[in-house]
Structure 1
Amino acid sequence: MLKTLARSLRHRWLDESDARRVIDPALEERLRSFVAASERRHTGEIRICVEGGLPTSYLWRHWRHNIPIATIVRQRAAMMFAKLHVWDTPHHNGVLIYLLLAEHAIELVADRGIAERVAPAEWQAMVDRLGVALQEGHVEQGLTRALEEVSAVLVAAFPEPADAGTAAVVNRLPDGPVLR
């Protein structure tokens, strides 16, 4: 009961302002620039979402139906993947890096076009490296490395056509992190 109460308070306490403390405006701009530069090299889309706490409806599913919190976090990441239209690419090659501060949770959601080309263990290794960096307080370095790794996978699997030129590069989604 006490653990449930503590979790509830943590999710209610942490919000967008906490996400903005983790990703300050200068870092937000550097991440936006990195994503923009990356997306000029491949046809995929990369989004970052940092959320303070889960909405009450997700916590309710956890409490009421005794669904493990890790499953709830994965469901929320999948919902943000859809809500942010990361799935809306012609080659189904969008990737979402999702951080949930209240649970110190990281999810990497990849659309089916890229997920089928990368072993789950490789995605998990990226998440694990990001987790270590975040635990050590190296937010920028961890996110930059994760972006480099995701970008390398997308460049290898879905490179921008050599004859496309810069005019043909279509940026379908905003490049900046979503802070909630």
Structure 2
Amino acid sequence: MDLMRIFRHLLMTRWRVRKAFSVRVLSTIDSAIRESHRSHAGQVRFVVEGALDSSDLFDGLTARERAIDVFSQLRVWDTEDNNGILIYLLLADRDVEIVADRGINARVSGDEWEAVCRMMEAEFRRGKYQPGAIRGIEQVSALLKTHFPTRTPPREDLPSFPVVM
């Protein structure tokens, strides 16, 4: 059991999450997602979770496992073209995970997603939450633009506003 991880999660307060991701930052992320949807047919969701609840934490749930749970809970998979993408940040761990629906996973490699995650994590470690999120959305959008070019009119199967859990 990783005691440092437990302390990070127990010390992650709602106030700290809101300080990093204020309403203004969330609105900027929403705008970036809306703008990105003009250049590709993918459906991007952005989720920030401050910390795991104690039962998940003590069970050793990983950020990846939690991201897959959130992907399902938010029904990111529920798009007509199987083109949903979840960008998930577990703030206490500063761990970013990208979960993509099967239509996108067939075209974009895990290494490409991992590069986006590592860049975002580096920004978040420096406390640059808004720039890190925006750069991540831009990089995801560039990959989607290549593999899922836009169509007219753009289809919005999922809401674009970020979720704070």
Which letter does structure 1 place at the counterpart of 2:33? V
Q: Which of residues 84, 94, 115 in structure 2 aligns to 1:94?
A: 84
Distance in 2 between the 1:173 and 1:111 partners? 13
Which letter does structure 2 place at the counterpart of 1:112? R
* Partner in structure 1 of residue 155 of structure 2: 170
Percent same amino acid among aligned pairs?
Answer: 37
Contact kept in structure 1, 2:30 and 2:161, CA below 8 Å: yes
* Partner in structure 1 of residue 108 of structure 2: 118
Which letter does structure 2 place at the counterpart of 1:109? V
Q: Which of residues 31, 34, 39 in structure 1 aligns to 2:29?
A: 31
* Partner in structure 2 of residue 66 of structure 1: none
Question: 5+ unaligned residues in a row in structure 2: which ranges?
Answer: none
* Partner in structure 2 of residue 76 of structure 1: 66
Deviations 1:76-124 (A, max 9, x none): 0101111111111112111111111111211111111111211211111
Contact kept in structure 1, 2:88 and 2:96, CA below 8 Å: yes
Q: Which of residues 99, 103, 122 in structure 2 aligns to 1:109?
A: 99
Q: Give the drift of 1:160.
A: 2.1
Distance in 2 between the 1:43 and 1:81 partners? 18
* Partner in structure 1 of residue 125 of structure 2: 135
SS at match of 1:85: coil
Distance in 2 between the 1:42 and 1:18 partners? 33
Distance in 1 between the 2:8 and 2:121 partners? 19
Q: Which of residues 56, 59, 67 in structure 2 aligns to 1:58?
A: 56
Q: Which structure shows the bigger proportion of residues in helix conformation?
A: 1
Contact kept in structure 1, 2:79 and 2:158, CA below 8 Å: no
Q: Give the drift of 1:9.
A: 4.0
Moved beyond 6 Å, runs of 4+:
none
Distance in 2 between the 1:43 and 1:88 partners? 14
Question: 5+ unaligned residues in a row in structure 1: which ranges?
Answer: 63-68
Deviations 1:128-158 (A, max 9, x none): 1111111222222211111011111112211
